Amino acid sequence: ETGVTQTPRHLVMGMTNKKSLKCEQHLGHNAMYWYKQSAKKPLELMFVYNFKEQTENNSVPSRFSPECPNSSHLFLHLHTLQPEDSALYLCASSIVGHPYEQYFGPGTRLTVT
């Protein structure tokens, strides 16, 4: 148990659906991150939140919409996704400052049909 939980663990959705991924950290951290892991590609950063403020959007399409209501919770809202968005979506958290390590949740395996 890493202290970072994600739900759901698996999700199948059609291209016209709207769904949300949830992440919660129990480590007392104040920065949270979304990453995407596609087959045969390195883990890619999507978004960074620092004390609930979005500080990075790594050129992510607008069909992905993050929300960070407080420093313990992070959401990724999904709408009108494409089949190529099928991937493992990983949430991570850390303290703010350098140096630091990031701790990852178990991920949500998303399949877009």
Beta sheet of 18-25, edge-to-edge order? 4-7, 18-25, 73-79, 64-70
Cis peptide before 66 (omega within 30 of 0): no
Least separation in angstroms between residue 16's CB and another protein is: 27
Tell me which of 58, 70, 82, 111 binds another protein, using CB under 8 A: 58
Least separation in angstroms between residue 72's CB and another protein is: 15
Of the candidate spans 15-23, 34-42, 60-68, 79-87, the one that interacts with another protein by CB under 8 A turns out to be 34-42
Comparing CA positions, the residue from 30, 44, 43, 46 lying closest to residue 94 is 30
Tell me which of 24, 63, 75, 106 binds another protein, using CB under 8 A: 106
Of the candidate spans 20-28, 47-55, 62-70, 76-84, the one that interacts with another protein by CB under 8 A turns out to be 47-55
Of the candidate spans 12-20, 38-46, 60-68, 75-83, the one that interacts with another protein by CB under 8 A turns out to be 38-46
Query: Distance (Å, rounded) from C-alpha 47 to C-alpha 11?
Result: 20
Query: Distance (Å, rounded) from C-alpha 13 to C-alpha 79?
Result: 10
